[in-house]
């Protein structure tokens, strides 16, 4: 019995070392915004991706780590699977969000929302909180990317409600909302702006300044013929093509 207990404690120590190495490697890659996976992660590959290569370096500089990672670890407990990497990343994300909400406290804030498609053509909604910290600095913090079935007003509003419920936020604390001006976002009568204003009349709408600048540049290019010619001369176009800034449809 004592032999089994001693062996179990030994395995626990190895597991903790292996997990710590994976966590440190994940932290380094996240700090540098680097990719984790490699094109070929087989043992015969010259470069198996940043994550595994970092673990190999840990083993080179620390003999104790080298004894318990990768090929020296059990095949079903190497702590290198993509699912393990994602789980560790989610833990870091939870800690970052915890810090953001601690800094925000019970104060008011504004929301910035945009919708787009990812590379797999799935619709998604991104949300950023804008608030003033206790030192008077304006902070903008990304808090979530939510996949939605469609980008209709009701679908986006439901996603916001679910995100707020998950993080224990209240619509009553919103003091501003900013979108890109699309009809489903800022429409006066039935857009997302209007739905939030019905629940909180203090959530004033501010048009996205980047989108405003784009509209100004487009309008200027359409009105100013010399500028229009200069823009079109900078990029070669075919007979039937037109530069985006000079297109009436934009």
Please write the tens of the pLDDT for every residue from 132-170: 888 888 888 988 888 887 777 788 888 888 888 888 888
Please, are residues 95 and 125 in contact by the beta-carbon 8 Å criterion? no
Label residue 115 exposed, middle or buried (CB < 10 Å: 0-12, 13-18, 19+): buried
Predicted confidence band of residue 193 (pLDDT cuts 50, 70, 90): confident
Label residue 244 by pLDDT band (50, 70, 90).
very low
Which domains are assigned to the chain?
Answer: 2-89 (no CATH), 105-207 (3.30.420), 211-246 (no CATH)
d(CA 164, CA 174): 11
Per-residue pLDDT for 207 more than 60?
A: yes
DSSP per-residue codes, 167-221: TT--GGGEEEEEE---HHHH-TTTSHHHHHHHH-TT-EEEE-HHHHHHHHHHHHH
DSSP for the chain, please give it.
-HHHHHHHHHHHHHHHHHHHHHHHHHHHHHHTT-----S--STT-S---HHHHHHHHHHHH-HHHHTTSGGGS-TT--S-SHHHHHHHHHHHHHHHHHHHHHHHTT--EEEEEEEEE-TT--EEEEEEEEEE-TTS-EEEEEEEEEE-S--SHHHHHHHHHHHHHHTT--GGGEEEEEE---HHHH-TTTSHHHHHHHH-TT-EEEE-HHHHHHHHHHHHHHH-HHHHHHHHHHS---TT---GGG-TT-
Name, in order, each residue with C-beta under 8 angstroms of 166's C-beta and a sequence gap of 6 or more: none
pLDDT value for 29? 93
Q: Over 80: is that where the pLDDT of 223 sits?
A: no
pLDDT on residue 89: 93
Contacts of 118 (CB under 8 A, 6+ apart): 124
Check pLDDT > 80 for residue 248: no
Question: For residue range 82-130, what is the model confidence (pLDDT) as tens digits?
Answer: 999 999 999 999 999 999 999 988 889 988 887 777 777 778 888 889 9
Write down the pLDDT at residue 204. Answer: 79
Worst-scoring range by mean pLDDT, 2-11, 150-159, 174-183, 234-243? 234-243
Mean pLDDT of all residues in the chain? 79
Give the pLDDT confidence of 16-64 residue by residue, as tens digits.
Answer: 999 999 999 999 999 998 988 888 888 888 898 899 999 999 999 989 9
Distance (Å) of CA 218 to CA 27, 86, 186, 245:
43, 42, 20, 5
- In this predicted model, what pLDDT tens digit does every residue of 76-93 receive, in sequence order? 888 888 999 999 999 999
Residue 215 has pLDDT above 80, yes or no: no
């Amino acid at each position: 019995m004592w032999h089994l207990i001693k062996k179990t404690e030994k395995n626990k120590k190895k597991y903790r070392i292996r997990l710590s190495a994976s966590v440190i490697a994940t932290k380094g890659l996240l700090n540098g915004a680097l990719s984790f996976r490699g094109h070929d992660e087989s043992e015969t590959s010259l470069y198996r991706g940043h994550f595994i290569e970092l673990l190999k370096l840990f083993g080179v500089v620390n003999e104790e780590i080298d004894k318990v990672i990768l090929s020296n670890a059990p095949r079903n407990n190497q702590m290198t699977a993509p699912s393990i990497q994602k789980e560790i990343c989610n833990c870091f994300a939870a800690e970052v969000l915890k810090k953001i909400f601690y800094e925000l406290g019970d104060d008011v804030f504004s929301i910035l929302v945009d919708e787009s498609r990812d590379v797999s053509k799935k619709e998604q909604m991104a949300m950023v909180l804008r608030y003033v910290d206790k030192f008077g600095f304006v902070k903008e913090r990304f808090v979530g990317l939510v996949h939605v079935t469609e980008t209709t007003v009701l679908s986006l509003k439901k996603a916001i409600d679910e995100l707020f419920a998950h993080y224990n936020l209240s619509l009553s604390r919103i003091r501003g909302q900013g979108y890109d001006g699309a009809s489903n976002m800022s429409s006066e009568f039935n857009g997302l702006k209007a739905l939030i204003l019905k629940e909180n009349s203090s959530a004033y709408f501010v048009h996205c300044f980047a989108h405003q600048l784009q509209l100004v540049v487009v309008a200027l290019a359409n009105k100013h013929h010399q500028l229009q010619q200069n823009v079109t001369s900078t990029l070669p176009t075919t007979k039937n093509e037109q530069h985006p800034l000079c297109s009436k449809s934009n």
